[in-house]
């Protein structure tokens, strides 16, 4: 990639990050190009579709979240690993309004630019769930797709002004339903587990 093309690519990604954080994943592609100071043709040359732009924007965060799941598989107890990762996944989907709908659609569309990243994420979460089920601490009837759907639902709740104040409490309700034998105090804190701190930086991309 030529230096000027690389500069345009980086500028478009940085601008897209700001615009999509403000307006959600349905933000105007033409508005992104305008605010980046390039023409629409330049934008579409680098990113032919909205999904290809979002894939470039979100891929590093999706991969980081997948890697966190892999690290948690052997780092802590099965139930602590699952609830820790679940909280990180919900925090991620809250970054960009509307990303949940795109991720759900990408899972069933093998031609989607986001399919591989989303499928890897679901598989990583499924392994944590299966591990907890194997030791009897997670609902044995739940599937990885069920958990992915709950992540999306919790992300949507946190994005709604009417519900966001209760989003942490509702997370605890869902976590208690998934993980058998866990109890939560009045402040929404799990009284059975320890706090797990992930070593990686917060998900911002």
The closest alpha carbon to 19, from 6, 31, 7, 37, belongs to 31
Show the domain range for 157.
49-205
Q: What angle do CA 110, 114, 116 make, to 5 degrees?
A: 60
- CATH code of residue 122: 1.10.357.10
Residue 42: other Cβ atoms inside 10 A: 17
Average pLDDT, whole number, for the chain? 83
Residue 190 pLDDT exceeds 80 = no
82 shares its domain with 6:
no
- The whole-number pLDDT of residue 183 equals 53
- CATH code of residue 31: 1.10.10.60
137 shares its domain with 70:
yes
* pTM for this model (two decimals): 0.74
78 shares its domain with 178:
yes
164 shares its domain with 110:
yes
193 shares its domain with 151:
yes
How many Å apart are CA 35 and CA 17, to the nearest integer?
12
pLDDT, one tens digit per residue, over 120-159 is 999 999 999 999 999 999 999 999 999 999 998 998 888 8
Query: For residue 179, what are the β-bridge partners?
Result: 138
- The whole-number pLDDT of residue 124 equals 92
The token pair that represents 84 in the structure block: 């820790």
Residue 193 pLDDT exceeds 60 = no
Domain count, the chain: 2
How many Å apart are CA 99 and CA 105, to the nearest integer?
10
109 shares its domain with 126:
yes
pLDDT, one tens digit per residue, over 17-76 is 889 888 888 889 999 999 999 899 999 999 998 888 888 888 878 888 999 999 998 878
């Amino acid at each position: 990639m030529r230096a000027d093309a690389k500069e345009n690519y980086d500028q478009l990604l940085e601008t897209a990050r700001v615009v999509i954080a403000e307006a959600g994943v349905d933000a105007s592609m033409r508005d992104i190009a305008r605010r980046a100071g390039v023409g629409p043709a330049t934008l579409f040359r680098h990113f032919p579709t909205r999904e290809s732009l979002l894939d470039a924007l979100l891929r590093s965060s999706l991969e980081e979240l997948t890697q966190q799941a892999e690290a948690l598989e052997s780092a802590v107890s099965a139930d602590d690993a699952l609830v820790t990762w679940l909280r990180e996944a919900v925090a991620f989907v809250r970054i960009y309004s509307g990303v949940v709908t795109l991720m759900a659609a990408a899972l069933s569309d093998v031609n989607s630019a986001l399919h591989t990243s989303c499928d890897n994420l679901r598989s990583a979460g499924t392994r944590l769930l299966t591990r907890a089920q194997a030791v009897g601490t997670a609902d044995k009837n739940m599937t990885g797709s069920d958990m992915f759907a709950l992540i999306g639902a919790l992300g949507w709740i946190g994005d709604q002004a009417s519900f966001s104040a209760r989003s942490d409490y509702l997370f605890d309700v869902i976590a208690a339903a998934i993980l058998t034998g866990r109890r939560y105090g009045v402040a929404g804190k799990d009284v059975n587990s320890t706090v797990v701190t992930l070593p990686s930086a917060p998900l911002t991309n």
